Amino acid sequence: MSVLAAPPTVGSTPRPSKPRRIGARLVAVALTALVIGAFWSVQIDWSQLVGFPSNLVRYLGLMFLPPDLSAVPEAFAATVLSVQMAWLGTVIGIVISLPLSFLATNGIGPAWLRWPLRGLFALIRAVPEVVIAVLILSVTGLTAFTGALAIGIGSIGTLGKWGYEAMEGAEPGPIEAARAAGGSTAQVLRWGLWPTVTPEVLAFWLYRFEINVRASAILGLIGAGGIGKMLADNVQFRIWDSVGTLLIVVIVVTVLIDLASGALRRRIVHGPRK
């Protein structure tokens, strides 16, 4: 004899109460009010936006119809100087940040040293390279080395953070094997930790070099040399056809560096294509 179970009574199981997200809503309202207040406090002159499209077309015509091709050699030389500045700054950042990254890694450096180093990395990342360059002008003077040194100091904060995060996320197997074999701390770092994080760290270095190439052009605007200084000089004297040539050279060189660096990073991280 089969017995059919009676269906459950509708409403017998109380529904869970809907969560009240009062705190999240208050935060959203506060952020919205902050954005609106900041927007209106800028005091935008909307009348200038009316003539912006026509002015943009006019200046683009002055720069590129046609550009001053005779300025290409000088523009290329200035761009090479900016790339050299970025490369030197990247090397400085790598040499200083790598050992500091090991000391800032959990399980390697002591807590009394690890946390101050992480705070130092955060402090450096909070200061733009332009501000760093202005601070060290009194020591080095307004030269290309000033820009390279500012880029190097700025790179320490980013590369240091990326470094210890990569090391803390490394596979524990090789590290445990090196320790089980009786390796010292230096040997564990060299043969257990470093080989597992090398592709990721090298990719970070290349990516930072791409960022530094753009930063070197910005530093040139304050007189640190390179393509930025040449661009600022031509804009100041309204030599628009030369400005167009400089922009073309900068874009072409930057795109080529990005493509080459991206291909190297993919090769390092993913290996050669089959």
Q: Which two tokens stand for residue 197?
A: 């994080």
% of the chain surpassing 70 pLDDT: 91
Per-residue pLDDT at 97: 92
Per-residue pLDDT at 1: 45
- Output Rg (C-alpha) for the chain, integer angstroms: 28
Residue 101: HSE in the Cβ half-sphere, 13 Å Cα cutoff? 27
In the chain, which stretches have pLDDT less than 70? Answer: 1-14, 16-20, 46, 271, 273-274
Query: How many other C-beta atoms are found inside a 10 Å radius of the C-beta of residue 139?
Result: 8
Per-residue pLDDT at 96: 93
pTM for the structure as a whole: 0.77
Model confidence pLDDT, tens digit, residues 190-219: 888 888 888 888 888 988 998 898 888 888
Per-residue pLDDT at 203: 87
Which CATH architecture describes the domain 77-270?
Orthogonal Bundle (1.10)
Domain ranges within the chain, ordered by starting residue: 77-270
Per-residue pLDDT at 93: 93
Model confidence pLDDT, tens digit, residues 12-44: 666 766 666 777 788 888 888 888 887 777 777
* Distance from C-alpha of 215 to C-alpha of 254, rounded to nearest angstrom: 11
Per-residue pLDDT at 100: 92
The contacts of residue 207 (CB under 8 Å, 6+ apart) are: 261, 265
- Find out whether 174 and 192 touch, Cβ atoms under 8 Å: yes
What single string gives the DSSP state of each residue in the chain?
A: ---PPPPPPTTSSPPPPPP--HHHHHHHHHHHHHHHHHHHHT---HHHHHTHHHHHHHHHHHHHSS--GGGHHHHHHHHHHHHHHHHHHHHHHHHHHHHHHHHTSTTTS-HHHHHHHHHHHHHHHHS-HHHHHHHTHHHH-SSHHHHHHHHHHHHHHHHHHHHHHHHHTS-HHHHHHHHHTT--HHHIIIIIIHHHHHHHHHHHHHHHHHHHHHHHHHHHTTTS-SHHHHHHHHHHTT-HHHHHHHHHHHHHHHHHHHHHHHHHHHHHHH-S--
Per-residue pLDDT at 2: 47
**Of 96, 10, 63, nearest in space to 239 by CA:** 63
**Of 77, 84, 71, 89, nearest in space to 227 by CA:** 77
**Of 243, 270, 253, 205, nearest in space to 82 by CA:** 253
